[in-house]
Chain A
Amino acid sequence: MQRYSALNIARHAASGHRHWEPAWRQAAPRRRYRVLIVGGGGHGLATAYYLAKEHGITDVAVLEKGWIGGGNTARNTTIVRSNYLWSASAALYEKSMKLWEGLSADINFNVMFSQRGVLNLGHTLQDMRDIRRRVNANRLNGIDGEVLDQAGVKARVPFINTSSDIRFPVLGASWQPRAGIARHDAVAWGFARAADSLGVDVVENCEVTGIRRENGAVVGVDTSRGPIDADRVGVVVAGHAGVLADMAGFRLPIESHPLQALVSEPIKPILDTVVMSNAIHVYVSQSDKGELVIGAGIDAYNGYGQRGSFQTIEHFLAALVELYPIFSRMRLLRHWGGIVDTCPDASPIIGKTPVGGLFFNCGWGTGGFKATPGSGWVFAHTLATGEPHPINAPFGLDRFETGALVDEHGAAAVAH
């Protein structure tokens, strides 16, 4: 791999930057691999990278039906945090947070991880009790967190509306200083480049059309570029997990919904943290380009169309203007929708399936981006050993049968 460094930039400057290698090869699929990963989003590419790096398994292909950085990885609002209530979730998201903290150096690609902190606002007395409980739980799990009162919120976001006359007044917030944002498509590109440099084939424009099985175990997949055999197959297809499970002949407790987000025109720096509100239901941060990145909840209906309804946008823009009257006359530049696979307990499914050798990593709902490195790390372990790592063991598909759900609905400080 050609390293990105100040020295190399200076060297290439001498030849007008015309001789940089492509970040990853245009690999054509071979007939057989030891491990196939279906889905070239951040989670799939991270899985491939950690398979190669941590487990020495490089006979791996990542199959992406479109192009790298064209799916949900580039369709989210880039928030990274680990302040989840339950210990199982805290372990998973904090593993991810620790990987984020060294990620740019590890993969030699600037993912622009910026630990600017996240505020999760409380608007009622019960919100504040829940926030105290969650921050205490976080601290017991070794995750940073503080409870702020209204003045503490105002000190960090001076223009937030703290009037007592609004429908849901701001009473306080939880504050996770190590949380922040990262550049989403750089995460996909960086992991693709790092995995490729370790020998993984990143195969774009290769859609999986069938999952071939013999005697209850997976033997390979059919793709738009021909059949490919494999010992193990990991499916990491946010937004289409149900479609792939249908190909493999089993059902998932997942419903796919549109999730919309918006970006405003760029303005001078005004918001140097991330603010989320569960009750009023909007979250916002400011990108390095100066755009406000705005998101909220899913559209209620099932949808695979990568678009949602206008009433949903109206709802979260009303919330934005209520909390930040100063933004009321801003123009919006872009608007998009992604497809999120939501689970009944708002936690992901990472582990075995009823088909031998076939593993699924799915159901991240609206919050998968933050988990990208950690998800890849635990899924690589699962694919390499055939068994879940202790961190992802609580997130098996069997929990819907045993009843051991990881119920993060409303518990995770997040607007689901």
Chain B
Amino acid sequence: MLLIPCPWCGPRDESEFSYGGEAHIARPREPDALSDAEWADYQFMRTNPCGWHREQWLHTHGCRRWFNVERNTATHAIHAAYRIGEAPPLREPAS
């Protein structure tokens, strides 16, 4: 069970949240200009790392706001939560 530090509400139980998948995937500014391969990459392809992963969460049963979390998919450790639009907090590469 994860304890997720919502940037607005503080640490809350995972059951209050919904998962939103990989973060920082920018919607293409000109979708019509994309090739099928580029569109497939935007629409379907994911980094899916075994290790640190930046991902979106929604505090569904709380403030109902979206935010980003950097979490380790192998250990489930959470490095930081940060608001949409903010840069991800720095992390020691070795950690």
Residues of A near any B CB (own CB < 8 A)? 240, 242-243, 246, 251-256, 300-305, 307, 309-311, 344, 400-403
Q: Main SS of chain B's interface residues?
A: mixed
Cβ-defined contact, A253 with B15, below 8 A: no
Q: Does B59 contact A (CB under 8 A)?
A: no
Q: Can you report 12 residue pairs joining A to B where beta carbons are below 8 Å apart?
A: A242-B49, A242-B50, A243-B49, A252-B45, A256-B50, A256-B73, A302-B53, A302-B55, A302-B73, A305-B74, A311-B1, A311-B15
Query: Which residues in B have their C-beta under 8 angstroms from that of A307?
Result: 76
Residue from B44, B49, B53, B73 in contact with A400 in the complex, judged by beta carbons closer than 8 Å? B44
Interface size on B, residues (CB 8 A): 28
Residue from B41, B46, B47, B76 in contact with A305 in the complex, judged by beta carbons closer than 8 Å? B76
B71 closest partner in A (C-beta): A301
Q: Known contacts A310-B1, A401-B36; is A301 also within 8 Å of B48 by CB? A: no
Q: Which of B35-68 contact A (CB under 8 A)?
A: 36-37, 39-41, 43-50, 53, 55
B41 closest partner in A (C-beta): A251
Residue from B2, B15, B37, B74 in contact with A304 in the complex, judged by beta carbons closer than 8 Å? B74
Query: Which residues in A have their C-beta under 8 angstroms from that of B22?
Result: 255, 302
Query: Which residues in A have their C-beta under 8 angstroms from that of B71?
Result: 301
Cβ-defined contact, B2 with A242, below 8 A: no
Query: Which residues in A have their C-beta under 8 angstroms from that of B76?
Result: 303, 305, 307
Query: Which residues in B have their C-beta under 8 angstroms from that of A256?
Result: 48, 50, 73
Q: Known contacts A311-B15, A401-B40; is A254 also within 8 Å of B50 by CB? A: no
Cβ-defined contact, A309 with B36, below 8 A: no
> What is the distance, in angstroms, from B34's C-beta to the closest C-beta of chain A?
11
Q: Does B75 contact A (CB under 8 A)?
A: yes
Q: Which 7 residue pairs spanning A and B have beta carbons closest together?
A: A253-B44, A242-B48, A300-B19, A251-B45, A304-B50, A401-B40, A400-B40
Q: Known contacts A256-B73, A311-B14; is A402 also within 8 Å of B47 by CB? A: no
Q: Known contacts A302-B73, A305-B73, A309-B1; is A253 also within 8 Å of B45 by CB? A: yes
Q: Does B21 contact A (CB under 8 A)?
A: yes
> What is the distance, in angstroms, from B77's C-beta to the closest C-beta of chain A?
10
Q: Main SS of chain A's interface residues?
A: loop
Cβ-defined contact, A254 with B48, below 8 A: yes
Q: What 17 additional pairs, Cβ within 8 angstroms, besides A252-B46, A303-B73, A344-B44?
A: A243-B50, A251-B46, A251-B47, A252-B48, A253-B46, A255-B21, A256-B50, A256-B73, A300-B19, A301-B55, A302-B53, A302-B55, A309-B1, A309-B14, A311-B1, A311-B15, A403-B36
> What is the distance, in angstroms, from B17's C-beta to the closest C-beta of chain A?
9
Query: Which residues in B have their C-beta under 8 angstroms from that of A344?
Result: 44
B21 closest partner in A (C-beta): A255
Q: Known contacts A311-B14, A400-B40, A401-B40; is A302 also within 8 Å of B48 by CB? A: yes
> What is the distance, in angstroms, from B94's C-beta to the closest C-beta of chain A?
19
Query: Which residues in A have their C-beta under 8 angstroms from that of B1?
Result: 309-311
Q: Known contacts A305-B73, A311-B1; is A300 also within 8 Å of B18 by CB? A: yes
